[in-house]
Structure 1
Amino acid sequence: MAPNTRTSTPPPVRRRSPLLLLGPAFVAAIAYVDPGNVAANITAGARYGFLLVWVLVLASAMSVLIQYQSAKLGLVTDKSLPALLGDRLPRPARLAYWAQAELVSAATDLAEVIGGALALYLLFGLPLPIGGLIVGVVSMIMLGLQARRRQRSFEFVIMGLLAVITIGFLTGLVINPPAAGDVLGGLTPRFAGTDSVLVAASMLGATVMPHAIYLHSSLVLDRHGTGHDPSVRRRLLKATRLDVLLALAVAGLVNIALLLLAAESLRGQPGTDSIEGAHAAIATAFGPGVALVFAIGLLASGLASTSVGAYAGSEIMAGLIHRRIPLVLRRLVTLLPALVLLSVGIEPTWALVLSQVVLSFGIPFALVPLVALTGSSRVMGELRNGPALRVVSVLVIAAIIALNLALLFLTLTGL
């Protein structure tokens, strides 16, 4: 069997409730609530208050649009986005494209391992390199479920961790909710200097994740199989819309809650634009119990997201260069750079924010081909995206590229 092929025997879909078809989007949604999100959103709230709420609202809406298109591409074509690109690109272009995708994947791994290590430091006082190693080992165990094709079990584990993340990051906000007027004021698009653009780009990179765009088209195939007749495919697409809406609504709620928590309770306090400082401030403001729940949520975020990130990297490699290595081995290899950085004493929260900026620059490389393929009648047939969706998708790409160019210009000119 070729590295990027899958079984053509689909599971019985007609007799199943739409709720039983949910799951792939919840795995993809973990990418939207990883430790990079925590760092970017806490930094945004602690530094700028409610100024950048609009960035998260816009990014969350974009994520629903994008992830559905990725899942739709997989269900209609029976191939993942990386596999479709691997079939179409000449070898030099394919290798170059794979290299940038691997760079994005490396930035993702860095954020996830550092976040999990930070959580273990906050919970148990473990040195960051030791915590990073533990996160890597636990993620290997989790990946073993997927590697043995226990896809549903893997989904249940990830969804359970998503529930822990949600509780961990919403608790403080429930105790001390912000004023509605402050939140509404943050919906007006604006910036406050170069650094706010950098933070906004990191928020965008943390919310619309390139590796999740590549992965979702694979997740639906691993879950639902291939070779469906048109009526079953339409049923799966309907269930997928519900899956994406529910999963990304949860992820969007968590992201916005993190920013609002920092804006309401942490702004102006020294050190609160770092995760460690935010944890200490939360303990002071709400007590050690809430701080403990926050740290547990951060740990769940690191463990879940690092497993999903390794899964995505494996699918990218299989699709683009037609090579597949065991997930556990890949996790071991990609773990090493994060452990090195933790060992040399890099400032963890700022490293997380910068990793999200790298991800932001990788978004167009995933989005442009996704929109082109889902809008092609040759690829999608009668299920190609309609004119309205194609126009909105192009506007989304233009907005992301414009933000990245503005970030580059402001940084280089020092404005």
Structure 2
Amino acid sequence: MYEVMLSIQRLVNKFGLELKDPAWDLVLSIMEAIIEHIETDSRASPASQVTSTLHDTICTIEQLMELGQFHGSVRRVFELIERCSPVRPEASVLRLITFLSSNIIPIRSDWIQRLHSLVDKYFKQETRTTIRVRALDVLSNVISLNRPAYEDELIELIVIPQLQHIESDPDLLVRTVAAQLLVHLALECENKRCLELLDILDKLLNRPLEQQGDVPITSEQDVADVKTVVVGLINIFTSKLFQLPSSHAIKAYKLLVGHLEAHYLKPAVFELVSSTRYLIFECFLRLRANSLYGLGYPDSVTGQVRFSPYLLVDHKEGERTGGGGSSPPPMSPAPTTYPTCTVTQLSLIQACKLVIACLRQERGELHTLSLPSLVLLFNMFLLTLLSLDKEVNSILTT
């Protein structure tokens, strides 16, 4: 077997530029037979001479392909690479993924199955970071290209099954890239799948608090995935303030509040890294309410405060998210094709309490962040959060 593989290698090295399609068919058929022998022979070792010579020959063929000087079947070469992808170099597998992704298009009846197979093999089963990240990139690109027609199906059949336990993944970079993908999808998603994506982000967000115990995190780099989720949730909250359904913005707000509360319930974990608290407080300090209790936030481009027509700050009895309740009954029971404009009331009491906790407990950068916007913030709270008058007054007098 070794002599056969060695002869194939010599042939490819010496005459690879001159071989035509019929000759390449024979070469690739022999290499397929050798791979099958390696797969079925329990005595075959990844470090054996046959295996080493085989992979060197595949690398030579790949070089010919890169130079545009390979005159055989590209598909068959990639089928060879796919069969032995676990032991192929990263660059080779990345080229394979690029080739496979080029065939994932809706005109093929099995395109979703092909995508699922690619993500399952090169993300879920793979251990090499670069390859796993590339698989996520392919997933993101396919969803972006086919979002209008297939978004719900792709999220249900691929994204959620593959990423629902991403918080358990030991690879920080993979978790971070997955978080970016989930945030991007949630920002654009307008149906119930958005809430499922937010549930996965919630598990990523609180991963350190659940898995660290009381061991402090010492570096901001160690929470890159958490920071990505926080930035994403802030974008989701501030973008979906002005969209229906309001449940998406409310869910994002609750996740931010819950995460911030956990910082003070288990202060040891995030004691040395404050960037996520900084970002959430910065978001809360930019919230505004007008005289009609409309919840507002500055536009990211113009800086001008926009007020949501769908979310009001609850200033009386606590949060009510069921359907607004303030709209009069319809004048006629006749059916209409226009969507119902639902107004939801959102309580900011917990956000106010957390700002107060920040002023009492934090030092340094977080404390200075609070001061410039404090007057405007408490003007809003005094307008809307009457139940906290004592706590507000205690802060204003210190």
Q: What TM-score do the two structures reach when normalised by structure 2?
A: 0.24
- Report 1 or 2 for greater relative contact order, CA contacts < 8 Å, sequence distance ≥ 6: 1
Larger Rg: 2
Give the TM-score taking structure 1 as reference length.
0.23
The structure with the largest strand share of the pair is 2
